[in-house]
Structure 1
């Protein structure tokens, strides 16, 4: 979204971002303001007073019912949101999001509303602004709504409440951006009349997020360092399988046996942040050279990759999932282990890349072999090998992938607008 706002600014648009309070972001995963430093200074930010009550950790602010019966309270809280919009955690935000966007429009009349569907209740604001003020809008769906990106197929039917909302909102959208081809194809098939407005806007990587040069780190005498950077938001059983494969690889291979596996990123949100089953699994694996180092600031990402010898790409889902980290992992020039399903969009992106162990699935034997092979790659790779691996990623820079979609949307809105001067987004 930072890149989206910056690119619209570069095209001459006057950009206002509507978001939630910083305290609300802190309550969930925390904030990394090294990202904010790279936002175009011309972008205005409007913060709405919204927060997830279920992530409140100050027990002095709990109601009596929540304090005495927390599970029942959480269930009722989710059900309450459905009274406003078909989304369990965020539906109750509908009125505030709608009014906040309308207020921004009244203060600075907009020529375009670009809706980022995280959460989906944001679609309600696009619908209201169109109905009341005929402001054109586009939907940055990324992972979509009615597609089950993890399990595959349909997440809900077209005649459900969510299905009716999606159908009605998408019908008037100027463009629908999806993160990969399988999701885009899903929407083209689901809404044939929308097919020519659905396009792929992949994530990509920022060049300043990968270490410079292709020479690689000289492996230390005490072994290699394997690394994972990203949110640990998969099931504990998934992580357990990866750790079991790591242990088995250490038993089989002397180089892996004297190596370490470092996990960095966010584990859990709110009260369960770093206090859950995932953290316990990592703690139990400390004797096997596994460590958790916490989140990494954006400004420190390149240096973090620069301290590692091989990367473990842990991803859930299948053909509908790409992830954002796969692009960064590719661009480092380091060996990459694919800990995900064979039929996965990350496999499509990685296909043909040197220093990739290949997509072998999540069977213990296959993952064990991948760890061993990656260790060999890391110890034997030449500068040319690493340069070739980096070259594979060059076409996936975030700015180049997003630019065509931003340009086409900008031109489409300006071509259909009678408004003179700079566009307001």
Structure 2
């Protein structure tokens, strides 16, 4: 085995290879977490090489937001691989005969080929390119640590390749987890399946496993008790510059209150229909909402289905009820959007295993929040104690009508003390603070591992949240 000397042995800064597919300028929610992670390693004096895919690939997927690049540390090196989702190609001149004539069969065969290479549909075929990329980067600039952010999970194959070949320590940021169905709950695959074998192999040898909330951490500690002390909760948090620095606008019911949703529109048409029906009923029953507007902003769909699907059709059909879709919002424009709203609508999929990064941002605005998600949802744990939150009621339309009405009254009746209390409730969840702690302790583990030194720093589990008992790392 060819084991190269660590960068610390060569008296140069330690080097991180960061597999971060979704790094800016990709218009993905994970981009914020990835950007802050890379920046924090740079703050510690590390060289950082980010591995992602080309900007053109994101143009055919979720789109681009070039303003995300403004806060990327200029010392970070970004390697863009020539990878793209073949199924999102819209140029029919590039279609094979099978795809043109039998698209369903073509897609089925594509998925089979992908999962044969690595047990992950859509991305499995990227394995060899990712593996070769990390080997090439390490040869040019020996790495002290590889951090793999998933999805895609095929990143794990590249982490394993570098570990197997050069014994470079690696850590995994699962965020939502692989073997757990975070949306529906329960197990995503069995331990003896091909994916299960891969997951166990990776976790057996990783330095650390990051996830975004306590229920997911509990899943992994129970499934793999021998690595329980390496499972850490590193919450998403919010960026301070994403919330308005000024006081909320003066509400004017006569002109019309404005409720807003900002985030990826990835929920079902049924969930959106319940929201729109409840909104219509609330406007009819609540005088304060008679002229109210509901503005939906964010990305809807990917590829050819972007803004051309059942969700956008429902929104257009509700225009008479003051509902509108304003499209995606660039990162730099987010504070201005919040500043133009009186209350927020938090629509989330899944249950107790799901934490949306937006919940922290919503909280930090100081605006009233209407929740449209399961009662047993991690967002409920985050929002517990929030004085301007109407509570979670699942998809109970009558309760949701009442939530909209109560939020309207909160807009007019909330005191500055209550709004300050809400913002204070969000203070511990700034992304910079959370990621700084997590990165610092991972960096310490990595350097100790490279030198076979004892000690693991302060356990992340000792740093507790004052809101819900989560780990603020």
Q: Pick the TM interval, shorter chain.
A: over 0.9
In 2, the alpha carbon distance for the partners of 1:158 and 1:118 equals 19
Within the alignment, does 1:137 sit opposite 2:137 as a pair? no
State the 1:215 CA deviation.
4.4
Of 58, 80, 83, which residue of structure 2 is paired with 1:50? 83
Within the alignment, does 1:391 sit opposite 2:424 as a pair? yes
Confirm or deny: 8 A CA contact 2:169 2:449 kept in the other structure.
no
Long gaps (5+) in structure 2 = 1-33, 453-473
Long gaps (5+) in structure 1 = 420-425
Within the alignment, does 1:300 sit opposite 2:327 as a pair? no
Confirm or deny: 8 A CA contact 2:221 2:231 kept in the other structure.
yes
Within the alignment, does 1:116 sit opposite 2:144 as a pair? no
State the 1:76 CA deviation.
1.3
Deviates more, 1:362-371 or 1:71-80: 71-80
State the 1:220 CA deviation.
5.3
State the 1:358 CA deviation.
0.9
State the 1:214 CA deviation.
3.5
Within the alignment, does 1:76 sit opposite 2:99 as a pair? no
In 2, the alpha carbon distance for the partners of 1:378 and 1:74 equals 49
Deviations 1:270-289 (A, max 9, x none): 00000000000001001110
In the other structure, the counterpart of 1:196 is 229
The TM-score normalised by the length of structure 2 is 0.87
Within the alignment, does 1:363 sit opposite 2:396 as a pair? yes
In the other structure, the counterpart of 1:236 is 269
Q: What's the secondary structure of 1:123's corresponding residue? A: helix
In 2, the alpha carbon distance for the partners of 1:23 and 1:217 equals 42
Matches for 1:313-328 after TM superposition, within 5 Å: 313-328=346-361
Confirm or deny: 8 A CA contact 1:217 1:308 kept in the other structure.
no
Deviations 1:192-212 (A, max 9, x none): 011000000000000000001
In the other structure, the counterpart of 1:97 is 130
Matches for 1:12-23 after TM superposition, within 5 Å: 12-23=45-56
State the 1:417 CA deviation.
1.9
Within the alignment, does 1:309 sit opposite 2:342 as a pair? yes
In 2, the alpha carbon distance for the partners of 1:160 and 1:415 equals 33
Structure 1 ranges of 4+ moved more than 4 A: none
Within the alignment, does 1:223 sit opposite 2:256 as a pair? yes
In the other structure, the counterpart of 2:318 is 285
Deviations 1:27-73 (A, max 9, x none): 10111111111010000000111000100111111111111111221
The TM-score normalised by the length of structure 1 is 0.97
Paired residues in the alignment total 419
Of 36, 54, 57, which residue of structure 2 is paired with 1:3? 36
Confirm or deny: 8 A CA contact 2:169 2:450 kept in the other structure.
no
Q: What's the secondary structure of 2:259's corresponding residue? A: strand
Of 409, 420, 432, which residue of structure 2 is paired with 1:376? 409
Of 61, 67, 83, which residue of structure 2 is paired with 1:28? 61
Structure ranking higher on relative contact order (CA contacts 8 Å, 6+ apart): 1
In 1, the alpha carbon distance for the partners of 2:242 and 2:46 equals 27
Confirm or deny: 8 A CA contact 1:245 1:368 kept in the other structure.
yes
Q: What's the secondary structure of 1:311's corresponding residue? A: strand
State the 1:213 CA deviation.
3.1
Confirm or deny: 8 A CA contact 2:251 2:257 kept in the other structure.
no
Deviations 1:233-287 (A, max 9, x none): 1111111111111011111112212100000000000000000000000010011
Within the alignment, does 1:162 sit opposite 2:204 as a pair? no
In the other structure, the counterpart of 2:8 is none
Confirm or deny: 8 A CA contact 1:178 1:199 kept in the other structure.
yes
Confirm or deny: 8 A CA contact 1:317 1:340 kept in the other structure.
yes
Deviations 1:148-172 (A, max 9, x none): 1011121111001100000001110
In 2, the alpha carbon distance for the partners of 1:276 and 1:40 equals 37
Q: What's the secondary structure of 1:177's corresponding residue? A: strand
Q: What's the secondary structure of 2:200's corresponding residue? A: helix
In 2, the alpha carbon distance for the partners of 1:168 and 1:63 equals 37
In 2, the alpha carbon distance for the partners of 1:377 and 1:16 equals 47
In 1, the alpha carbon distance for the partners of 2:252 and 2:342 equals 7
Of 164, 172, 180, which residue of structure 1 is paired with 2:213? 180
